[in-house]
C-alpha cells in the first residue's frame, strides 16, 4: 500500500514513511492510494474482539512492517487500557454510547496515540533516527500524545496548546511529566493559532528536514487508521446498519467513520455534531466553508474554526481531484472562505450544532433519567443524536472523554459532585513544567532548536 497527498504534488510513499512524514511536503494530507473493500470479510470479522479486528483491519494498510511485528505493536498498545474490551458500549435511553475513554489519559485520542507512539519507536529504532514531534492540541491530543512517547530515546515532543483555554485537568495531564523529552508550550492565543503555527512549521521544508519534524496530530495518517477500527467494531455489534453521532472539532474522528463506511462496514449515516463553532455544520447545510471568530465554550476540544482533517474528506467529495481541492483550500487560506456551487450532495453525512445551554441540560437530564454521566463533548453528541433519531436504526453516540476531565461543567449540570477519577486527582499534587510563548513562528522555531536533542 502506497500513500499519496491530497494536493497531488508529493511522490507516493510507504506506510512507514507516511507515519514519519506526517504532513505531506506539498502541504497536503496523506491518504492510501486506494480504500480496501471489506464487505466479504464482515461475517468472519463479527466474532473478533477489538484487538483481533485491529490486527486484521490495520494489516490491510501496512505492507512494510512484518505482520508479526505489527500484531505485537497492536497488542502492546491496547494492554494500556483499563477494560479488556478496549472500548465499551453502554445503553443510555434510546442511544448506545460508545465509550472510547478507557485509555491512560481518559480520552478517545488514546486509541490511536498508544499505537502511534509504538509505531514511532519501532520505525526509529530500526532506522537509528531521532524525531522531533510537534503537535497542537485543544486539550486531549497533547496529553494522549505525550503518554504515547514520553521517555522514548528516539523522540522529543513539543506540544502547543492555547493558554487558559483547556481545562485545568487537561493541562495537568500534559505538564506534570518529568521526562526530558517532553516540552509543553502554552500559546497566548486560540487553538487555531496553535494549529496555524504547526502548519507553518511543516510548510518550512528546510526547517522541517533539518530538525526532522514529525506530526502527532490527526494530520498523521496512522491516527485516522487506528480510529477506523472502533467504527468497524461497533457497527458489527448490530444486525442492521447503524448511525454514528460524533462530537466533532477537527473532523479526524468522524472522517475515520467516513472511511469505515467507504470500506463497507454497515454504517448508514454519520452525524457531525459541532458546538457553537459551527463551521462544519454550516458547510454541510450550505456548501460554504467560512472561518469565523473562535467561541470559547465548555467543550474546548471543539473550539475550532479550521478543521485540519476536512481536507481529506473534500478530496473524496471532489472526486479525488487534487487540482480542484488545491484551488478550494488556497481560496480558504487566503480569504477565510471557500464554497461549492451549493449544499454538498452527501448521502453519508448529517450535521448540526449544539448550544451550551442545550448540552448542559442534556447532561442533567441523562443523569436523572439513566444515572449516566456524560462529559460535555459527549453531551453534544447526545443532543444531536436525538435530533436525527431514525425509527428502527440503532444510533451510536461516540463518547470522547471521561466526565471527570470536566468536573466544573458536569457538577453544574447534574447539581451533584458526581465525577472523580483517582488518576486525575493524583495530578493535582505533582509539580508542573511549561513555557508560555507568543503565537509567533520565529519564537516557536527558536524554542524547538534550543531544546531538541541531536539525532
Top CATH class, 88-107+221-422:
alpha beta
Q: What is the mean pLDDT of residues 361-372?
A: 96
Closest CA to 218 of 293, 138, 125, 274: 138
* Whether pLDDT at 418 is above 80: no
Distance CA 70, CA 172 (A): 32
Closest CA to 316 of 398, 244, 224: 224
Q: What percentage of residues in the chain have a pLDDT greater than 70?
A: 100
For residue 455, what pLDDT band results from cuts at 50, 70 and 90? low
Which residues are registered as beta bridge partners of 274?
A: 353
* Whether pLDDT at 390 is above 70: yes
Q: What is the 3-state secondary structure (H, E, C) of 399-433?
A: ECECHHHCHHHHHHHHCCCCCCCHHHHHHHHCCCC
Residue 420 has a pLDDT of: 87
Distance CA 397, CA 89 (A): 10
The CA-based dihedral angle spanning residues 344, 348, 353, 354, taken in that order and rounded to the nearest 10 degrees: 170
Beta strands 267-274; 88-92: pairing state: unpaired
Q: Where are the alpha helices (DSSP H) in 150-269?
A: 168-175, 191-203, 205-211, 221-235, 252-263
Q: What is the mean pLDDT of the chain?
A: 94
Residue 452 has a pLDDT of: 87
Residue 454 has a pLDDT of: 62
Domain boundaries, the chain: 88-107+221-422
Active-site residue list: 109
- Give the tens place of pLDDT for each residue, 252-274: 999 999 999 999 999 999 999 99
- Give the tens place of pLDDT for each residue, 176-190: 999 999 999 999 999
Cβ atoms of 1 and 50 within 8 Å: the answer is no
Quick one: cell of 194?
A: 496553535
Residue 13 has a pLDDT of: 98
Cβ atoms of 8 and 37 within 8 Å: the answer is no
Cβ atoms of 261 and 267 within 8 Å: the answer is yes
Q: What is the mean pLDDT of residues 22-32?
A: 93
Amino acid at each position: 500500500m502506497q500513500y499519496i497527498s491530497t494536493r497531488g504534488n508529493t511522490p507516493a510513499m510507504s506506510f512507514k514513511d507516511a507515519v514519519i512524514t506526517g504532513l505531506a511536503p506539498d502541504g497536503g494530507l496523506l491518504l492510501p492510494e486506494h480504500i480496501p473493500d471489506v464487505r466479504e470479510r464482515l461475517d468472519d470479522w463479527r466474532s473478533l474482539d477489538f484487538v483481533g479486528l485491529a490486527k486484521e483491519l490495520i494489516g490491510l494498510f501496512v505492507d512494510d512492517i512484518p505482520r508479526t511485528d505489527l500484531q505485537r505493536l497492536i497488542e502492546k498498545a491496547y494492554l494500556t487500557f483499563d477494560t479488556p474490551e478496549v472500548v465499551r458500549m453502554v445503553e443510555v435511553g434510546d442511544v448506545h454510547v460508545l465509550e472510547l475513554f478507557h485509555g491512560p489519559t481518559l480520552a478517545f485520542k488514546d486509541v490511536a496515540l498508544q499505537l502511534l507512539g509504538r509505531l514511532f519507536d519501532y520505525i526509529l529504532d530500526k532506522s537509528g533516527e531521532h524525531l522531533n514531534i510537534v503537535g497542537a492540541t485543544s486539550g486531549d491530543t497533547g496529553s494522549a500524545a505525550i503518554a504515547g512517547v514520553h521517555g522514548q530515546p528516539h523522540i522529543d515532543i513539543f506540544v502547543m496548546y492555547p493558554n487558559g483555554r483547556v481545562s485545568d485537568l487537561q493541562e495537568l495531564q500534559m505538564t506534570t511529566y518529568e521526562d526530558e523529552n517532553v516540552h509543553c508550550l502554552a500559546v497566548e492565543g486560540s487553538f487555531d493559532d496553535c494549529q496555524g503555527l504547526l502548519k507553518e512549521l511543516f510548510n518550512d521544508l528546510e526547517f522541517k528536514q533539518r530538525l526532522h519534524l514529525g506530526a502527532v496530530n490527526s494530520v498523521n495518517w496512522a491516527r485516522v487508521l487506528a480510529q477506523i477500527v472502533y467504527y468497524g467494531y461497533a457497527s458489527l455489534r448490530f444486525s442492521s446498519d447503524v448511525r454514528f453521532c460524533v462530537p466533532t472539532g477537527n473532523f479526524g474522528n468522524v472522517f475515520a467513520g467516513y472511511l469505515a463506511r467507504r470500506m463497507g462496514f454497515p454504517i448508514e449515516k454519520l452525524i457531525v455534531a459541532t458546538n457553537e463553532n459551527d463551521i462544519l455544520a454550516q458547510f454541510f447545510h450550505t456548501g460554504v466553508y467560512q472561518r469565523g471568530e473562535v467561541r470559547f465554550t465548555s467543550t474546548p476540544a471543539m473550539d475550532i474554526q479550521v478543521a485540519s482533517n476536512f481536507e481529506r474528506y473534500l478530496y473524496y467529495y471532489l472526486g479525488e481531484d487534487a487540482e480542484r481541492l488545491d484551488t478550494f483550500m488556497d481560496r480558504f487560506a487566503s480569504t477565510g472562505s471557500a464554497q461549492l456551487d451549493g449544499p454538498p450532495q452527501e448521502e453519508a453525512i448529517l450535521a448540526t450544532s449544539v448550544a451550551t445551554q442545550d448540552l448542559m441540560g442534556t447532561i442533567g437530564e441523562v443523569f436523572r433519567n439513566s444515572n449516566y454521566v456524560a462529559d460535555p463533548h459527549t453531551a453534544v453528541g447526545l443532543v444531536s443524536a436525538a435530533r436525527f433519531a431514525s425509527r428502527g436504526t440503532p444510533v451510536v453516540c461516540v463518547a470522547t472523554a471521561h466526565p471527570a476531565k470536566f468536573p466544573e461543567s458536569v457538577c453544574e449540570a447534574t447539581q451533584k459532585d458526581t465525577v472523580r477519577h483517582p488518576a486525575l486527582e493524583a495530578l493535582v499534587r505533582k509539580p508542573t513544567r511549561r513555557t508560555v510563548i507568543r503565537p509567533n513562528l520565529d519564537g516557536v522555531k527558536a524554542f524547538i532548536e534550543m531544546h531538541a536533542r541531536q539525532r
